[in-house]
Structure 1
């Protein structure tokens, strides 16, 4: 048995970012940049106005109020090559328009009396005010995005501003998902006595999508060697293979033996964690193989703690583990020593402190507790009793990023 920390370290040391591909800019959102990108031109490309107002010479505005003659108009999109701000004059200008020659300040229209032939300035003017200088944001040739950057809406905007219609990103992994067991039936029929709907496959597929991967559903491997060989061979063609159930030591638990027969090198089997102890990890060449327990709660928790970080690393992410923070327990928690215990909790914030309360019964057969969980408390292996009022480490679960007070 390996420890929680050893298992995660072994997994992350065994995977690397996949190759890159170029995708259209709208498809790049949420992906990880695979190359450094240099600015093809200055941003802004020319000196321009930051306000709607008047382009002026600061030397003409030493005494306020001052009346200036308006000699022209520069809307956004105009070139303005034939305009110049002469002494005692001003040019009406819109935000983003290039500065006319002779201008060294822009006065917002709200600081004037307006006017198309003449205008009066009511506020002091400083040289350089409300002007965006050429290259002030990004200078041509400089790296404006580094490899490893997550492409968010701000990155999309900058890439579009530099005319980059295709973006180099790390490839998303294809993830084969295989559930095992004669008791399983697919969605669409009512299970009879002794039958169980194949919910794990759909849950894992959703988790893979949420982590950025591309799920490939293989169906169900029945409890016989030939069917396992057929399905696992198919799964090993993907970038990642995840199996659910069939990984313990029972007569029908065939996954590990068949994987070994197919050439997979098992790096560990069993982790000091509860739930999810009978988890195995192997490599088939460069393909990581995660063999997860069949209990739905155990499947989801082991995916969260071990599979998700690996999928993120394969997509070029640098931060692959959810950050932990301290939360105060609302109730006592007890456990046996020797294993890290993952407790499903609800979370609330009071001022600067977080509080964690049990999301319900913690038995691995209780699926509703997983539905209600907003976070997972990670109780260390050596501990046995954690009293109400004590701080423990917690991380958010699923799509919960920040919890705020519900609005009426």
Structure 2
């Protein structure tokens, strides 16, 4: 069995970074920038008011009350064209350009209006309720960096920068193949000897959440002919993921059939629990991952290997989540020769410390507690038994390319 660290390194080295494409900003949520993006204008382009009120010369309103004569109006779409002299003011609205000669705004709530005679009941100072030109950013400023994952706020910023298109890494196209005579699709009638195929749709959902495009090749039966026929849909994919058929067994044909198709296997067993029968290799220059058939094993191997692979393909780093320390909420037994990931739920104790409580049952076929778990307790190889209250490393499962 290959040590887990070596398996991470081999997969990281074997995953390519994809090319980039031009994408409309309106369709760029969850995409990764392939180049820095600079502002195409200064924002605001000129000094503007931050309040509805009256634009004044601050030197005219050093004391209050003082009465000025209104000589015009400035709106966001219709600025005042003239210049303001001593004893004068201009009606102004939020976002409107400051008139020439004015350097402050008195809020309308602090003014008495009688015709064009405006009495100011508050004093002014230079810059009061005024946004200077370039307060937000200046033309040419690099505001978004290569490798940045775009969230909803970034989309708004790009629009304000007057950037309609961006270069982003292409979405990875991931072909997903389930294998096994025993598998049927959700909603089909199920015989006693059959199992609902959950892995392929679960992995497809992970691919989509991480910014990829899932190509579901369907279920291949346990025969070479069925496998070869299903694999015809591999054309155009950037990576193949299979579920099942990589362990030792009479009907486990995936490795053999893929080998005939040119698969070069880097490794196919790792020192991890659950998930020992994990395969990685290449078909030509196309990476291929073989996940175990048990649902929990399939998910955890995808979480640890496919997820960072998707990040790297989109210009990010192939890296594992950094563990955090937590207090055990229940005893855990000693571990053996494979690093273990135990499903757990998290809470806080009275002192605000993170508490990780493992499920009693950790069978790799149990999807219910996988769906309910919030993360994994990491148990290193040959680690001793721990009692409730002792510390351990944990990782969270929450992750997605879509963010507001």
Give TM-score, length-normalised by structure 1: 0.92
**Residue of structure 1 in register with 2:312 after alignment:** 313
Residue matched to 2:147: 148
Once the two structures are overlaid, the 10-residue window that deviates more, 295-304 or 129-138, is 129-138
Match of 1:46 in 2: 46
Q: Tell me, which stretches of 5 or more residues in structure 2 are unaligned?
A: none
Deviation at 1:166, TM superposition (A): 2.4
Aligned residue for 2:238? 239
Is the 2:44–2:133 Cα contact (8 Å) retained in structure 1? yes
Determine the structure 1 residue equivalent to 2:136. 137
Offset at 1:236?
5.7
Q: Which residues of 2 match residues 27-42 of structure 1 at below 5 A?
A: 27-42=27-42
Deviates more, 1:348-357 or 1:276-285: 348-357
Query: Per the alignment, do residues 267 and 398 of structure 1 end up closer, same or farther by CA in structure 2, a change over 3 Å counting?
Result: same
Shift of 1:383: 0.9
Q: Distance in 2 between matches of 1:398 and 1:257?
A: 36
* Greater Cα shift, 326-335 or 218-227: 218-227
Residues 269-278 or 126-135, more deviating? 126-135
Q: Does 1:221 align with 2:235?
A: no
Match of residue 405 from structure 1: none
- 2:358, 2:377 within 8 Å by CA — same for their partners in 1? no
Which residue of 1 is the match for residue 383 of structure 2?
Answer: 383
Question: 1:2-401 residue pairs with structure 2 within 5 A?
Answer: 2-81=2-81, 83-113=82-112, 117-235=116-234, 237-318=236-317, 321-350=320-349, 352-398=352-398
Q: Shift of the alpha carbon at 1:394?
A: 1.6
Q: Following the alignment from structure 1 to structure 2, what is the Cα–Cα distance between the partners of residues 305 and 386?
A: 24
- C-alpha distance in 2 between matches for 1:292 and 1:319: 18
Give 5+ residue unaligned stretches, structure 1: 402-408
Pick closer, same or farther for the CA change 1:360–1:120 going to 2, 3 Å.
farther
Shift of 1:17: 2.5
Q: Shift of residue 358 of structure 1? A: 2.0
TM-score by length of 2: 0.93
Q: In the superposition, relative to structure 1, how do residues 383 and 80 fare at CA in structure 2: closer, same or farther (>3 Å)?
A: same
The one-character-per-residue Cα deviations of 1:29-65 (angstroms, maximum 9, x if unpaired) are 1111112222222111122112222211111122233
Aligned length: 400
| Cα offsets for 1:335-379 (capped at 9, x unmatched) | 432221111111113464211112441111222111210111222
User: 1:174 and 1:219 mapped to 2: Cα distance?
Assistant: 15
The alignment yields a C-alpha RMSD, in angstroms, of 2.1
Distance 2:193 2:356 in 1: 37
1:236 and 1:287 in contact (8 A); partners too = no
